[in-house]
Structure 1
Amino acid sequence: MEKEELVSLQQKVLKLRVEGKYEETIEACFQLLEAGIAANDPKSILTAHINNAASFYCIGAIEDAFHSIDAYVDYCTDNGDEDDKLNGYNVLFLLHEYSKDYEKAKKTLARAIKLGKTLEHYNIVSNAYSNYSSILAIENDFENALSMAEKGLEAAKLHDPRTPILEFRVKLNIANALIGMNDLEAAEQFVIEMVDDPLLDSFIREKTQVHDLYGRFLMKKKIYPEALQAYDKAKELAESYNDRNLLKGILEKRCELCEVMGDVQRGYKAQKVYIDLLSDLHQHEVTMTAVKLGVKHRISTIERRANTDFLTGLYNRSYTETTTDKWLAEAVTKGESIVCIALDLDNLKSLNDTYGHIFGDQIIKKIGQVCVSQIRSGDLMGRFGGDEFAIILRDLSIEEAQHKAENLLEAVRSIKIQKDGIYISLTASVGVADNANGTIRTFTDLFHQADIALYQAKQEGKNRICTMS
């Protein structure tokens, strides 16, 4: 793919996310990631990961957001520049915010502000000040929240070209701080102006946020019926683009307002909607409890550069290579057999073209789950990008490894995934090779032999196993 096409894809991803079209953003990110990997273009890969992270986060798919953040930080370590490092601060802030570790969140934002000023990326500086203001408001430090928001507005005005939505986002935080300080007269000037701003016709998330803020403003003034109308509008908007995180906060405030109004019937309905959302979040994130308990562990894992593949949870290529090289060196002195099984899904491109990359991603994850259940706990399975996997087996003969390969292939064939009312069957091509009595001493050489056998399996019609003797 030409450089111009990659840049066009990057711009498409950014535009979709700014417009709040998160599911479309995720699909575009997978296209960009595939193209970036094929062209070995770090900027495209990093752009895909970071926008995937933000989009998954906004629709409430927290576990998937963490995987994308993991992938971004991991890849940025070896391939990113100062700009990418700055973006990395932004995604790490999301993790700290989600885990309610506000001290780490503020430290991360302070680093982003400092580096952003050095690089003169005032849009990122402005957003960092806005986020800092939000954290301070959560801590009820409204005076400093106002100060941070005002600094964010100054930074937004320095951004070239002038971007009205950037300034609008900061004004939301200024108004929020003023409401917290009970300076309702000053807050009203901001809120009334923002609610009717035609700019919001193109920015649905900010439109949702301003109606949410308007509801809070009216609650402070004890104008309860109008406040409920504002929250109802914010709820309707958040539901329209599936922003579960924002919706959760809006529903909490609606429940609180109904209680203040003494409207039992409406309060019951509001509570039921809120409970239904929590149930949906529970299913969507696997389990909210497990995610919350695992957040701090995830952060430390990401910060020290994880060894796992961001999508499947299997080992990544770096870890697989390092570990296999170690095993091969030990095998020379022990006279041990080390076998590599290379497995590649058949016809993934056709499935992606027909059903989309999100569906293709689900298939890859499922294959990883099924195959890893077929190997011993001491063996190793890694993903090499796309749909290719490497399974490394210790102390097995080539004949025993062939039998294991048959089990793996049968496990893939047994997968039945439903899509649009039909069940889709899967097959794979498999190549097997061993370390040739200790003469092969690196993962690269061992995998190359298995890959040659895999290519032969593809050439012979796919859905089969070939062994390199």
Structure 2
Amino acid sequence: MPRITKKLFTDLAIWMIGFGLLNGALFPLFAYGLGVEAEQVFTITFWAATITAGLVAGIINYTLAMLVVRPRLKILANHMHIVKSTISDANFTGNWSNCSADICRVEVDSDDEIGESARAFNDLVEALFQAHKIETAVNDFSKTLSSQLELDILSRQALDLFLQYTDAMAGAILIESAGELTISAHHGISDSKILANSDHIRKALRTHQCQRVVFPKDIKIEAVLANFNPQEIIVIPLEFKNIPLGVIVLAANKIFDKDVTRLLQLFRHSFGLALNNALAHSNLQRIAALDVLTGAYNRRFGLTRLKEEFNRAIRSDTSLGIIMMDIDHFKSINDTYGHMVGDRVLGRISESTFRALREGDLMIRYGGEEFLIILPGASRTNSLQLGERVRRLIAETTVQDGEQSINFTASLGITAFPEDNVESVLELVKHADDALYIAKNQGRNQVVV
């Protein structure tokens, strides 16, 4: 119906009372049409009575509408004001406890448009507070991770947060480096090593799309991935500016709902940025720790690592082998062929040495042509065998200077803890240096324990 004023209940009063008066005015004609005598209906008294009755009916209808409809609309309006005030205050104070979705909801007590309005209001309040919850979660997630640059710590913290916000029971973070995936953090995984070879993980990295694997409830699978029978496994690729960084794997004993998957998309962007920063920090640390010419650790960083390995060997009662290596007649190579050729010789010697080392072994450029090799877990015998292999590979290596083929050799001194009873890193290095001195005096190109 057309609006008369800007107030709904004023319009309602006008229409109801107006229709009441109209009905009262027309009632005598209706009565006459039904056969009532004209002398009885077409009188001022009867007409006044019917108009008064119509007016009273209109007023009663309006009053009923005011008593039934208006209070419910008032409740909706009051709750809207409460929510508006609470959100305004919370934006400045950060306190959202005064109005949760449960506190601010309106009771739905009818199955008509009023009830539908109440339901829509409750849905709106729920959506607002869900949006706030997601915003808070993303902010907390980003704040927690943005200040952390150590990759291992960052990965553990991120995985804990992923598990917390998704109710997943198991998970892992894998980092991509040089085409290989390595486990950076994991929880509740039976055999984390098999993850790197998973087709779903490779596909997620290749397509930049999440991969979801759902298992029917009535089918029991062998618990290879997780320590339980998951109902769904989700693989989320991690990237920064479209560059793959790794993946997150989460497993749950239920299907991840839509809100969780949306939250994961927000989390992965924040984590991608934090992970990129941590990887950049790690690369800078690695570059700062490396000798540019040889790729070995520089002396300062290398000796720090030696102290760490020595202390670890003491705590765990394990062996630690040390090799001190010096290039034979290196000064003559520099004097004869020049420093550029000398640098190439050092580079080739480093390459040959790295080929001989085991995973976890460390090489340090200790001086100009002197190298220190750290062999965690290696006994004196193990160190001797590896040292002999290094010596042989270096002796077989050549550097070309025009048509001239340059050969070179190395002397190596070996010591091992605890077979050599030492109490400090300095003593350990001195024992290896003494053995190297003997190798030099005995004719070079040999290994001495």
Bin of the TM-score, shorter chain as denominator length: 0.3 to 0.5
TM-score by length of 1: 0.35
Q: Which has the larger radius of gyration?
A: 2
For CA contacts below 8 A with separation 6 or more, give which structure has more relative contact order.
1
TM-score by length of 2: 0.36
